[in-house]
Structures are given as structure tokens and as C-alpha cells.
Chains A and B, each alone.
Chain A
Amino acid sequence: MTDMEEYHVILFDSVHHALRSEKILKEIGIPHKLIPVPRHISSDCGICLRFTANLRNKIEDALTGKVEIREIRPL
């Protein structure tokens, strides 16, 4: 059940960083999903990048130095 999986999200200060992150992760084939920032995290009209918790290190490695990340946190 995918619903039971533990997710983390990356929050960004800019939509452009979210899009750049999506592009980088698509190119190297790491599963992820752009979703609206959940209400319990922020009421901004923002998007964030969701992924399963086990991919956190891979994703951090792939994005570090290339995009500005505000925060990575459990969903």
C-alpha cells in the first residue's frame, strides 16, 4: 500500500527551485512527486517535492549545491 509509506517533503523558497529539482531528479530517475504544500505545513500557495523517506539521502546528494532548499521534513 503506497498510502502506508512514509513520505518526506522538500520545501523551497521559490517555485523555480522546485522545478529545477524536479528536472534534476527526472534526469537521474529518482521517483518523486511535486505536490501542493500541505495545509498543515504552510498556508502558502506553494509546491513542494514529495518522496519516500528511504530516498532522502540519494535526493539530498543529487540536489545539494544545485538548488536552494528551505527545509526537508517528514510529511
Chain B
Amino acid sequence: MAKIIDAKGLACPQPVLLTKKALEEEAKVTVIVDNEPAVENIKRLGKHMGCTLHTEKKEDGTFQIHLSREAGGSADVPLDVSCATGPLVIAISSDRMGRGNDELGYVLIRSFLHTILSLEPLPHTVIFYNTGVKLTVKDSEVLDDLKKIEESGVSILICGTCLNYFGISKDLSVGVISNMYDIASTMAGAGRLVVP
């Protein structure tokens, strides 16, 4: 039987500290938490301590992380904790990355979007506005990457005003059309906001 740690409602870094203590005593531990930073901190701890682990997301919004410490795994590891609250949000404000040279900027934005898929953890939301929306319509060269990002569970919000301005609303091929209320509140509620 796994030892069960109920860490719901506890402020960071309590859940990861309790998990570490439990893993020093038991080989199998199940932790229940109610926020994603705690999940990520516990996953990192588990990896450092040589655990196999899997995470279940429950319908009530909590997460169960099952950790099993392998023989040879060390309990003497540094704590690697990030207490940033709120999700990672990426805002794509242009179909170029950076200013200066458009040809280069277009190469960079494609590379950036391709690389999002290998981020860990994945962003919670990617928002497209201004000329950024041109990347989300049919014949866009990054559509395959964006579809994979969406299939991985990332929410993709597209500025409807912007699609309308460029006359490309009917060509939208990924994500959901959104408005400034959602876009502003998603950006304001982000733990970290990345604007390439």
C-alpha cells in the first residue's frame, strides 16, 4: 500500500516538502494536490529521487501523483521548487519573432512554435493576436505544429477582431476564436507571460 499524503489547500512549498519527507520513509507514496505548480514541483522531485511516477487528473480538479522510488534512488537530493502561481501563457503578437528583419523573424517564429511542443511543462494557453493570427489559418506553414500543440491539451485562443480585420475568419484552422475579455483576463491571470 502506498502512503497517502493529502496536500490539498497547502501553500507552496509545503506539498513538495511533505512528499520528500514521505519518500524518505516509504518507497511508495501517493500525493493529492489541487494546483499545477505543486504537481510540477513534485514531479521534478520524483525524477531527482529516481522515482517512477504517473499523475491522474481528477474530475474535481485535484491531481493524484503516484510515486514509486526505485532501488538505488537517492533521498539526498537538492530541492528544486518553483512557487510561481498561475499558468504559463504564451502570447504571439506577430507572425514574426523580434523586430528588424522580416525574413529572419519569420524563420524564428516558426522555430519558436515548433519548439513549444518540447517545453516541459507545456504552456496552459497560447494566444494569437494582431498579425500573429495569420499563423493560424489554412496554408499556414506552422499549422501542423499548432495542431499538435492543441492536441496536447494546450488551449489556443485566437483574436476574432484580428481575423476579421485581415478578412481571414473563414480560414481559421486551429484554436478557438476569442475576444478581448478572455484574452485580457488570461494574460492578467498568467503566472508567467512569454511574448516572443
A binding-site residues for B, Cβ under 8 Å: 2, 15, 18-19, 33-36, 47
A52 to chain B, nearest CB (A): 13
Chain B residues whose C-beta falls within 8 Å of the C-beta of A47 in the assembled complex? 107, 111
User: How far, in whole Å, are A14 and B117 apart by their CA atoms in the complex?
Assistant: 25
Chain A residues whose C-beta falls within 8 Å of the C-beta of B114 in the assembled complex? 33, 35-36
Chain B residues whose C-beta falls within 8 Å of the C-beta of A18 in the assembled complex? 107
18 cross-chain CB contacts under 8 A? A2-B144, A15-B104, A15-B107, A18-B107, A19-B103, A19-B107, A33-B114, A33-B141, A33-B144, A34-B107, A34-B110, A35-B111, A35-B114, A36-B111, A36-B114, A36-B115, A47-B107, A47-B111
Chain B's interface size range is under 10
User: How far, in whole Å, are A47 and B115 apart by their CA atoms in the complex?
Assistant: 12
Count chain B CB atoms within 10 A of each CB in A2, A15, A18, A34 and give the residue with the most: A34
User: How far, in whole Å, are A7 and B111 apart by their CA atoms in the complex?
Assistant: 17
Within 8 A of A (CB), among B147-173: none
Within 8 A of A (CB), among B31-50: none
Q: Could you give, for residues 93-134 of chain B, a 1 whenever the CB lies within 8 Å of some chain A CB and a 0 otherwise?
A: 000000000011001001100110000000000000000000
User: How far, in whole Å, are A15 and B107 apart by their CA atoms in the complex?
Assistant: 9
For A2, give the chain B residue with the smallest CB separation.
Answer: B144
B196 to chain A, nearest CB (A): 13
A7 to chain B, nearest CB (A): 13
B110 to chain A, nearest CB (A): 6
User: How far, in whole Å, are A18 and B110 apart by their CA atoms in the complex?
Assistant: 14
For B115, give the chain A residue with the smallest CB separation.
Answer: A36
User: How far, in whole Å, are A25 and B141 apart by their CA atoms in the complex?
Assistant: 14
Please tell me if the beta carbons of B111 and A34 are within 8 angstroms of each other in the complex: yes
User: How far, in whole Å, are A29 and B104 apart by their CA atoms in the complex?
Assistant: 22
For B104, give the chain A residue with the smallest CB separation.
Answer: A15
User: How far, in whole Å, are A2 and B117 apart by their CA atoms in the complex?
Assistant: 15
